[in-house]
Amino acid sequence: MTSAFIEFNKVSHTYDPSASEGPFAIEDIDLSVEKGGFVAIVGPSGCGKSTFMKLTTGLQHPTKGEILIDQKKVNGPLSISGMAFQAPTLLPWRTTLENVLLPLEIVEPFRSQFRAKKEEFTDRAIKLIASVGLSGYEHKMPYELSGGMQQRASICRALIHQPKMLLLDEPFGALDAFTREELWNILRDLWTAQGFNVILVTHDLREAVYLADTVYVMSKRPGKIVHHRKIDLPRPRDLEVTYTEEFSSIVHELRMHIGKVRAE
């Protein structure tokens, strides 16, 4: 028996259904993440990071190998996962509260319970919105929110159904540095409080080192894991750690591996 929550066993994937031997988007991926773990995936553009995310959520089925989530083989889309992307993609005709509630309206088993439990679900959403500092903005429309506020709402929407796994694809990449660091801490606090697994895809090495337990470096296409680095910085972490020599040394080490990948 294994205690891993996410397992990739020799996983390769091609988008050409007639080409079982490639060319692959990702190739021969082995990865194991403990329950409650936080991992970051870094690598050059086009290395297969988004493919990795689709496979993890069951939106794509691997051409080769096996993926286990919570010790069950992934054969289709998972309801235990939440996702947030670089663009918040809030529906412009819905308020913050209505956007956050959306997954409960459309995903089972919540959809069939929504009318009967609307008051309970609404209370849950309001508390989650408050936890990311958006109290008072529940009934604002997306155009009334800043980019950082929209991204907070997007993260709330990804977590409203209390998933066991949160997948983040460059969620802070379009934000200014100060807002980005503020959202790092919001994500840190949500993860600490709720204990869900996180897979973060990012180009920001500081972000990866600050948030993750382990950082994985992927090669150019076909994407392979060419290096992984355990982040031994003590938790809880605050932004002061990003100015330490130890933190800078880890970022520099990862940057060297990315440089090798780019040079190949």
Q: List pLDDT tens digits, range 210-260.
A: 999 999 999 988 899 999 999 999 999 999 999 999 999 999 999 999 888
Contacts of 47 (CB under 8 A, 6+ apart): 218, 219, 220, 221, 223, 261
Residue 184, pLDDT score: 96
Rounded Cα distance, 79 and 59, in Å: 11
| Residue spans per domain, the chain | 4-80+164-263, 91-162
Q: List pLDDT tens digits, range 156-176.
A: 999 999 999 999 999 898 889
**Average of per-residue pLDDT across 83-88:** 87
Neighbours of 175 (CB within 10 A): 18
- Asked whether 100 and 128 are in contact (CB, 8 A), the reply is yes
Rounded Cα distance, 183 and 171, in Å: 9
Residue 88's pLDDT band, with cuts at 50, 70 and 90, is confident
How many residues are there in the chain?
Answer: 264
Query: What is the three-state SS of the chain?
Result: CCCEEEEEEEEEECCCCCCCCCCCCEEEEEEEEECCCEEEEECCCCCCHHHHHHHHHCCCCCCEEEEEECCEECCCCCCCEEEEECCCCCCCCCCHHHHHHHHHHHCCCHHHHCCCCHHHHHHHHHHHHHHCCCCCCCCCCHHHCCHHHHHHHHHHHHHCCCCCEEEEECCCCCCCHHHHHHHHHHHHHHHHHHCCEEEEECCCHHHHHHHCCEEEEECCCCECEEEEEECCCCCCCCHHHHHCHHHHHHHHHHHHHHHHHHHC
Residue with tokens 């895809």, as numbered in its chain: 201
Q: Is pLDDT above 50 for 106? A: yes
Residue 44, pLDDT score: 83
**Average of per-residue pLDDT across 106-111:** 89
* Top CATH class, 4-80+164-263: alpha beta
Q: Is pLDDT above 70 for 67? A: yes
Q: What is the mean pLDDT of the chain?
A: 92
Rounded Cα distance, 83 and 38, in Å: 14
- Asked whether 57 and 167 are in contact (CB, 8 A), the reply is yes
φ, ψ (nearest 5 deg) of residue 210: -65, -40
**Four-point Cα dihedral 237, 240, 246, 248, nearest 10:** 110
Residue 2, pLDDT score: 56
Q: Using DSSP bridges, classify how beta strands 72-73 and 197-201 pair: parallel, antiparallel or unpaired.
A: unpaired
φ, ψ (nearest 5 deg) of residue 60: -130, 150
- Asked whether 6 and 165 are in contact (CB, 8 A), the reply is yes
Give the lowest-confidence range in 7-21, 84-98, 178-192: 7-21
C-alpha of 86 from chain center: 11
